[in-house]
Amino acid sequence: MQDSRSGALGQSVLEAEKAAEKVVYRGAARWFIFTCATLAIALSVNQLFNLRLGGYSMLGGMYLYLLAGLFLSLTFVCFRAIGPASARVPLYDWGLALLTMAVALFFAFTADQSLDAGWEYAAPDHAVWASILFYVLILEGTRRAGGTVLFGIVLLFSVYPVFADKVPDPLNGFSQPFRDVIPYFMISSEASFGIPMRAFGNLVIGFILFGAVLQFTGGGKFFNNLAMALVGHYRGGAAKVSIFASGFMGSMSGSVISNVLTTGAVSIPAMKKSGFSPRYAAATEACASTGGVLMPPIMGATAFVIASWLSKPYVEIMLAAAIPSLLYFFALFAQVDAYSARRGLRGLGRDTLPVLRDTLRDGWQYIFVFALLIFLMVAFRWETTAPFYAVVLLLLVNQLNRRDRLSLDGLIDVIVSVGRTLSELVAVLLGIGMIVGAFQATGLTGPLANELVYMAGNSVPMLLLMGAITAFIFGMGMTVTACYIFLAIVLAPALVQAGLNELAVHLFILYWGMVSFITPPVALGAFAAASMAGASPMRTGLEAMRLGGVIYIVPFFFVLNPALIGQGTAPEVAFVLVCALLGVWFISAALQGYLAFFGPLAKGAGAMAARVLLFFAGLLVAAPEGGVMGLSHLMLTLLGLLLAVPAVVLARREGAAPATA
């Protein structure tokens, strides 16, 4: 019964996403989305490049109000009040869209006055009523774009300051009247228009635009062909292609479910055809799509929020996330290889694969554009403007490519797609910004961190375990960005106060907020993939847990040893990276029962004991320095290698013949 309920949940999510993907906007809706998105992009270019068109420079607050008005109004055009996505926009939704625009314009044009007069603490009556109206519109936009669960959480926390003094410890705080709280949410730079929206206005727009243009101009097809040409002919080639292609597409889209639906439509049938079970094919796609959101250079929108939250350049977040992402995808690759070896699965026929030379000749420009993007971010630190330069270059070189040349109608489709994506994100960010504001208004952030440290008994491992469980639970009911922001307020200060590296703590929260996509009982990514593969949702979720098992372990490694996020000297980072890769290889072999270059571990009397030893050997080799009984990293590594010897001996004895199991 539980399996059928889980399958129903995955199926409902899948149907909702498919309905959204199939919506084709025509007429007034299409042109309204195009116009609003174009204006927003133009506003962003003017602000970020400091063009001062018309001789006027906007305040940051005015800029964010205008963006919110444009994109929140699109929420009412793109998302229905009840039922699935539809291109037919009811009259009342048009009315809500125009009302949203009008309210946002009021706040934009009074931004100077509200700043000078301190409206966030003492707003006049007309600003109070405008704030309440904006508050209601944001709540409804959050409900439509983020779902009922997120809406309920935002609603609860938005009214929390009104009765905060009546809540028992550790959530007891200062209370304020409703008429004072709502203007604070709408006018203060600490709430709806605080860090999340600033990250959106300064970073997210350009990267989302770049990802969309890359896909629409054939970039997605090129990188898929490149993956097929590079690894398609190796054993388990179809799954290895899925890992590369889905990882890359997930990095561009920032959405696990939509990535499963797009790349999974091709990769899952290919894997099944080459001998993978439906369950394993679906799990592979779900794990690869989940990891894509954690993979530089684009990652998901949450990475940009982290950069703004920590006041660090985005390139630092990107570089810090590189090693954990490498470990995760290396583990996926190693497990797929071990699974294929045990079952004797061959690669795809070379005659069915693209030729590498031809693929590079036809799509080298996409690699060049990516190189330019990374160069501008790393060498010049142009995080805010680099994606716009890359978009311009991409559009220029696209016009030289006859096969994938983007037409004027195609360009409109790109902007409409970007408008819909960003409207969903803005509605969620404005809503969860009120959670940030609620904690700021009640003065609860600092005391709550102290309480958490006290509850954990000043034990860092216990605090991390509490944090991981909390992030997992909230990740089941929120978007990744919403989950991260909530925990960045509540949990991150406590972990930093315990002496952990701040950047590592925020990446730890991000990773554990992602695990719910492949972990039952929710496992939305795995369930959506299972629906496409015709597999059991719960069994697929359990397979995804094993296949993506490293995602549960790696965050503990890098939060306790910041060298795994590049925080250390070059020799130190290189040493811990090599150890981590070796440890991940052992763990992957233990999970799949096959040690590459040695043989299977899946048969014989001592096989299970050997797999257990190999698993713990991997943990010790990759463990943080001083993480076990105060032993040095070198001692832990040697102990791990010693434990691995029996498993290696068994694998060598069994030989390289594939098992029949």
What percent of the chain has a predicted confidence (pLDDT) above 70?
89
Does residue 267 belong to any structural domain of this protein? yes
Token code pair at residue 123: 């707003």
Q: Which of 365, 392, 416 is the last residue of a domain?
A: 416
Closest CA to 150 of 132, 138, 162: 138
Structure tokens at 220: 């997605």
DSSP tag of 380: S
Q: Specify the residue for token string 């909230």.
A: 474
pLDDT over 90 at 77, yes or no: yes
User: Residue 636's pLDDT is what?
Assistant: 83
Q: What angle do CA 500, 501, 503 make, to 5 degrees?
A: 135
| Residues whose CB is less than 8 angstroms from the CB of residue 270 and which lie 6 or more positions away in sequence, other chains included | 238, 241, 242, 348
Of 249, 263, 252, 230, nearest in space to 333 by CA: 230
Task: Look at residue 56 and tell me if it is in a domain.
Answer: no
**Residues whose CB is less than 8 angstroms from the CB of residue 282 and which lie 6 or more positions away in sequence, other chains included:** 264, 268, 526, 529, 530, 532, 533, 535, 540, 543, 544
Q: Is residue 454 part of a domain?
A: no
Angle between helices 219-231 and 237-253 in degrees, nearest 10: 150
pLDDT for residue 2 is more than 50: no
**Pairwise pLDDT comparison (244 vs 601), residue with the higher score:** 244
Mean pLDDT of 557-585: 90
Share of the chain above pLDDT 90, in %: 23
Cα 5 to Cα 1, 10, 11, 83, 283: the distances in Å are: 6, 9, 10, 20, 19
Per the structure block, which two tokens stand in for 122? 């003492």
Judge whether residue 152 has pLDDT over 60.
Answer: yes
Of 102-106, 246-250, 410-414, 512-516, where does mean pLDDT reach its minimum? 246-250
Domain that holds residue 240: 201-287+309-416
Q: What's the sign of the alpha-carbon dihedral 5, 8, 14, 17?
A: negative
Amino acid at 16: A
Instruction: Assess contact for 388 and 45: CB atoms under 8 A.
Output: yes
* 458 vs 447: CA distance, rounded Å: 15
Q: What is the pLDDT of residue 654?
A: 61
For residue 113, tell me if it sits in a domain: no
Are 261 and 14 within 8 A, CB to CB? yes
Q: Which of 519, 347, 477, 431 is nearest to 138 (CA)?
A: 431
DSSP 430: H
Q: Which of 128-137, 259-268, 614-623 has the lowest mean pLDDT?
A: 259-268
| pLDDT for res 10 | 42
388 CB burial (10 A radius; 0-12, 13-18, 19+): buried
pLDDT (tens digit, 9 = 90+) per residue, 350-404? 877 888 888 888 888 888 888 888 888 878 878 888 889 989 998 888 887 777 7
Task: Take residue 46 and report the two structure tokens written for it.
Answer: 């003017």
d(C-alpha 133, C-alpha 336), whole Å: 53
Residue 19's pLDDT band (cuts 50, 70, 90): low
Contacts of 252 (CB under 8 A, 6+ apart): 211, 214, 215, 219, 220, 292, 298
- The confidence score (pLDDT) of residue 409 equals 87
> What does the pLDDT read at residue 254?
65
Q: Under a CB-based contact definition with an 8 Å cutoff, are residues 237 and 348 in contact? A: yes
pLDDT given at position 5? 38
Q: Are 336 and 209 in contact (CB under 8 A)?
A: no
* Domain contains 477: no
In a domain, 513, yes or no: no
Rounded Cα distance, 564 and 625, in Å: 11
Q: Contact at 8 Å (CB) between 245 and 208?
A: no
- Find, among 502, 494, 499, the residue nearest to 454 by Cα: 494
Q: Nearest Cα to 333, choosing from 241, 257, 268?
A: 241
The answer to whether 607 touches 651, Cβ cutoff 8 Å, is no
Name the residue with higher pLDDT: 181 or 59. 181
Q: By 3-state DSSP, what share of the chain in percent is helix, strand and coil, each rounded to 5?
A: 75, 0, 25
Sequence-ordered list of residues with C-beta below 8 angstroms from that of 398, at least 6 positions apart, any chain:
217, 218, 365, 404, 405, 406
What pLDDT score was predicted for residue 459? 77
Q: Give the chain's count of helices (H) and strands (E).
A: 30, 2
Note the pLDDT of residue 253: 64
Question: Rounded to the nearest 5°, which phi and psi values hold at 595?
Answer: -105, 110
Domain stop point among 398, 416, 434: 416
Encode pLDDT of 233-263 as tens digits: 888 888 888 888 877 777 766 677 777 877 7
pLDDT at 185 over 60: yes
Counting the structural domains of the chain, the total is 2
Is residue 597 scored above 90 in pLDDT? no
Tokens of 45: 């270019």
CA-CA-CA-CA torsion sign (385, 386, 387, 393): positive
Across all residues in the chain, what is the average pLDDT? 83
**pLDDT recorded at residue 267:** 83
546 falls within a domain: no
Degrees to nearest 5, angle at CA 149 with 147 and 154: 95
Give dist(CA 430, CA 450) in Å, integer: 28
pLDDT of residue 6: 39
Is 0.75 topped by the overall pTM?
yes
User: Of 34-43, 422-431, 607-616, which has the strongest mean pLDDT?
Assistant: 34-43
Q: How many CB atoms lie under 10 A from the CB of residue 431?
A: 27
The Cα-based distances of 506 to 127, 139, 320, 468, 576 in angstroms read 36, 27, 11, 12, 20
Angle 562-568-572 from CA coordinates, rounded to 5°: 100
Q: How far is CA 495 from CA 490, 562, 649, in A?
A: 10, 14, 42
Token readout for 391 is 């978009």
Residue 234: per-residue pLDDT: 86
- State yes or no: pLDDT of 7 exceeds 60: no
Q: What is the mean pLDDT of residues 31-47?
A: 93
Q: Which residues contact 325 (CB under 8 A, 6 or more apart)?
A: 291, 294, 295, 296
Q: Are 269 and 291 in contact (CB under 8 A)?
A: no
Q: How far is 55 from 1, CA to CA, in rounded Å?
A: 66
Domain C-terminal end among 347, 382, 416: 416
Within a domain: 621: yes
- pLDDT for the residue 626: 55
Which residue is associated with the tokens 């890098």?
A: 558
User: Which pLDDT belongs to residue 21?
Assistant: 59
* Residue of 74, 77, 104 whose CA lies nearest to 90: 77
